Amino acid sequence: MTRDSRADLPALSPLAPSAPDPDAGALTDAEVAAWLRLAATPGLGPVGARRLLAAFGLPERVLAQDAARLGAHVPADVVRALLAPPDDAMAALIDRTLAWRDAPHHHLLTLADAAYPARLFDLHDPPPLLYVNGHLDTLARPALAIVGARKATDQGRQDAESFAAAFSRVGLAVISGLALGVDAAAHAGGLSGPGGTVAVIGTGADIVYPARHRDLAHAVAAHGAIVSEFPLGTRAVGHHFPRRNRIIAALSRGVLVIEAAERSGSLITARLAAELGREVLAVPGSIHSALSRGGHRLIRDGARLVEAPADVFEEFTDLNLPPAGTTLVAAGDAAGRTQCSDTLGAALAYDPVTLDDICARSGMRPDTVATALLELELAGAVERLPGNRYRRCSRIGR
C-alpha cells in the first residue's frame, strides 16, 4: 500500500532554532503550565501549536508574544484565547497534572523532549504533549501494532495473542488500543515476552476505558507503557478514537489487522499506516464471516497476507529479527531438543489432530507436548484450530 502525498501540509521542524537542549532536565512547573495552556487552547490544535513553536520557540515564549505577532500565524479568536489569563478550570488542570507527573513512572513528554517518540514526527499533527504511564524504554523499541475487532471470535483472540507473543519474544513492542477483543489479546501476548506492549488510549491517562480492563491497564503500565495525548480527566468520546489510531499507526513499523468488519476502526488505523509509509498486513479468515471482510479488502488493496509470524518477520529484514524457526526448543540439551522436535514432527500431520492423538502417537507426556506445541505455534510451524486441534504448517526439526 502506498503513502499519500502530504505536499500541502506545512513542513515544520519539531523545535524552533532557539529552543534549548531537550536533555537539559525535567520540566519546571512553569514549563508544564505553558505546555498545557498551548495544548488546550481552543481552536489551535496540534498543527497550529507546532506552527507557533516553529515561529517563536517553546510555549513560554509563544505566550509572551503580542497579538500582532501571534496573529501572523493563527486566527484572531485563537490569539484572544492564547492571551487570556488561565481560568479556574485551567488552573485546576495544571495542579492535577503536576501532581500526576510526580507519581512514580509518570512522564510528560513534549515536542522538545529527547524521549519524545521520533516516529510521531511523521505525522502532520504530532501531539504537543504526551502523557506516559510506564516505562519510556518500551516506547523506544521497534514496534508492531495489532488491531482488530472488539467482538472478536475465540480464534481471533487466540491469533492476536499468539502473534503478539511471537513479536514480543524477539524484542518487538506490541502496540494496540486497550479495547475489547483483539486489542486486549494483543496486549496479553505482548506482556508475555521482553518486547512488552504499549497501549495508546483515547481518554486521559488517569482513566481506564473500558473499565473492565483495569487489571490489564495496570499490567501494561507495570511492564510496558500507556500513552495518551488527552488531558487528564478526559472521558471516552467517539471522535477521540480515530485520533488515537493515528498515534498507533505512527508509533509502529507496521500494522497487523486480525478480524475487522467492512466498517471498522481497524481499517482507519490501516489506512493511516499506509499513508505514513508503514507496512499493512492482514490475517485472512472465512469468506462466510463478516469479520473477515475488512481484512480481505485490505489484502485486495495490497496489504500483505499473513498466516504466521514468519510472514511478518520477512517484511522487516532491516531489524535482523530471528526467523520464525523450525527447530523446537522444549527442554534439556541440544540432542534432547532435537530428538523431541523429531518425535513431535513425526506425530503431527497436515490434517488436524488433537493433543491426545499427538500424545498417543509420540509417547510424550501431555505437559511436554503442550509446551512444545505452544513454541511451534509461536514459531509459525503449527496452527491451532478450534476444538484444541493442531496441524502442521511447515517443516519441523532440522
- Looking only at the bridges linking them, the beta strands covering 173-176 and 279-283 are unpaired
Find the helix or strand (DSSP H, E) in which 223 lies: helix 214-223
Q: Which fold has domain 27-102?
A: DNA polymerase; domain 1 (1.10.150)
Mean pLDDT of the chain: 85
Average pLDDT score over residue span 135-162: 94
User: For the segment 150-173, what is each residue's pLDDT rounded down to a tens digit?
Assistant: 999 999 999 999 999 999 999 999
Does residue 52 register a pLDDT over 80? Answer: yes
User: What's the confidence (pLDDT) of residue 396?
Assistant: 52
Average pLDDT score over residue span 130-147: 96
- Looking only at the bridges linking them, the beta strands covering 143-148 and 173-176 are parallel
The three cell numbers of residue 56 are: 517563536
Does residue 336 register a pLDDT over 50? Answer: no
Average pLDDT score over residue span 249-254: 97
CATH number belonging to domain 137-319: 3.40.50.450
Q: What gap in Å lies between CA 5 and CA 249, rounded to an integer?
A: 17
Find the helix or strand (DSSP H, E) in which 24 lies: none
User: For the segment 188-226, what is each residue's pLDDT rounded down to a tens digit?
Assistant: 999 999 999 999 999 999 999 999 999 999 999 999 999
User: What's the confidence (pLDDT) of residue 380?
Assistant: 67
- Sheet with strand 389-392: strands edge to edge: 353-354, 389-392, 382-385
DSSP letter at 359 equals H
Average pLDDT score over residue span 348-352: 68
Q: In this prediction, what percent of the chain has a pLDDT beyond 90?
A: 68
The distance from CA 365 to its chain's CA centroid, rounded to whole angstroms, is: 38
Closest among 12, 63, 55, 16 to 35, alpha carbons compared: 63
Q: Which fold has domain 334-392?
A: Arc Repressor Mutant, subunit A (1.10.10)
Confidence band, pLDDT 50/70/90 cuts, at residue 330: very low
Confidence band, pLDDT 50/70/90 cuts, at residue 368: confident
CA atoms within 13 A on the CB side of 79: 12
Q: At residue 128, what are phi and psi to the nearest 5 degrees?
A: -65, -30
Confidence band, pLDDT 50/70/90 cuts, at residue 111: very high
Does residue 9 register a pLDDT over 60? Answer: no
Q: Which of 19-28, 194-203, 356-365 has the lowest mean pLDDT?
A: 19-28
User: For the segment 257-294, what is each residue's pLDDT rounded down to a tens digit?
Assistant: 999 998 888 999 999 999 999 999 999 998 989 999 99
User: For the segment 62-105, what is each residue's pLDDT rounded down to a tens digit?
Assistant: 999 999 999 999 999 999 999 999 999 999 999 999 999 999 99
Which comes out higher in pLDDT, residue 372 or 125? 125
Average pLDDT score over residue span 12-22: 36
Q: Global pTM? A: 0.76
Find the helix or strand (DSSP H, E) in which 140 lies: helix 136-140
The structural domains of the chain, with segments of one domain joined by +, span 27-102, 137-319, 334-392
User: What's the confidence (pLDDT) of residue 264?
Assistant: 87
Q: What gap in Å lies between CA 12 and CA 124, rounded to an integer?
A: 9
Average pLDDT score over residue span 35-62: 94
Does residue 22 register a pLDDT over 50? Answer: no
User: What's the confidence (pLDDT) of residue 387?
Assistant: 67
> Cα–Cα distances in Å, from 95 out to 66, 90, 155?
26, 9, 46
